[in-house]
């Protein structure tokens, strides 16, 4: 668990003390050893009012991507609900660069649909219940669990299926951003996302030499 001076380095100075406290309490559930195994509280996970630009962690209704056909052993074009995992400034129209950057997205599934797929491949109700519990604990480094939205729908983000999308196409979506985007993460949810991305891609070396 970070000490107070470490939190001051981690969290930006422009945040209000109340916001910093919410972030600390939210993240403490996942990094404090004493909280291990306890039910997690995901309140205030989404913003009520989103910005007029795309932010890292935004969920978009439809992004063009590719899917894998296991029978044909080849890719095919498809559309998916997706989370923006690129940094907000990397997709900003105001950020002019000598060399541009494309947008990175991770596919998002409704949790109930994911469970239907698990049942179709033979997973039992008990196994699915265990998976659900582990998802809420954020124990899978490649899966980012998103709690129920205003309609009670839970989601999971597949961090191991990230795809790129032209930044120029993202800029076009700004014209109808209210329709293109359906959820934005709150401050503490954003820091939980950053933690999950770091764990998935930047874990410290294991005992086995690789």
pLDDT at residue 10, rounded to an integer: 60
Residue 32 scores a pLDDT above 60: yes
Tell me the pLDDT of the chain averaged across its residues.
86
pLDDT category at 64 given cuts 50, 70, 90 is very high
Q: What is the largest CA-CA distance in the chain?
A: 55
Output the CA torsion 164→169→175→181 (10° steps).
Answer: -20
* Average confidence (pLDDT) over 63-67: 92
pLDDT in tens, 91-139: 888 877 778 889 999 999 999 999 999 999 999 999 999 999 999 999 9
Sequence-ordered alpha helix ranges (H) in 62-176: 111-120, 125-136, 167-173
Give the mean model confidence (pLDDT) for residues 67-88.
94
Domain map (residue ranges) of the chain: 4-201
Question: What pTM, to 2 d.p., does this model score?
Answer: 0.85
**Residue 205 confidence (pLDDT) above 70:** no
Question: Does the pLDDT of residue 156 top 80, yes or no?
Answer: yes
- Quote the pLDDT of residue 18: 63
């Amino acid at each position: 668990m970070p000490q107070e001076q470490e939190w001051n380095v981690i969290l930006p100075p422009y945040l209000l003390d109340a916001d910093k406290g919410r972030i600390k309490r939210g993240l403490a559930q996942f990094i404090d050893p004493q909280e291990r195994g306890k039910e997690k509280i995901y309140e205030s996970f989404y913003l009520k009012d989103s910005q007029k630009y795309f932010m890292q962690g935004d969920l978009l209704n439809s992004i063009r991507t590719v899917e894998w056909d296991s029978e044909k052993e080849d890719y095919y074009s498809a559309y998916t609900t997706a989370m923006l995992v690129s940094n907000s400034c990397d997709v900003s129209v105001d950020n002019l660069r000598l060399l541009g950057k494309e947008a990175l997205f991770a596919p998002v599934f409704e949790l109930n649909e994911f469970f239907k797929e698990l049942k179709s491949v033979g997973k039992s109700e008990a196994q699915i219940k265990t998976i659900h519990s582990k998802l809420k604990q954020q124990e899978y480094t490649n899966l980012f669990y998103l709690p129920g939205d205003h309609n009670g729908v839970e989601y999971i983000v597949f961090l191991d299926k990230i795809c790129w999308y032209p930044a120029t196409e993202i800029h076009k979506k700004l014209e109808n951003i209210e329709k293109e985007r359906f959820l934005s993460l709150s401050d503490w949810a954003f820091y939980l996302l950053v933690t999950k991305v770091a764990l998935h891609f930047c874990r410290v070396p294991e005992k086995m030499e690789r």
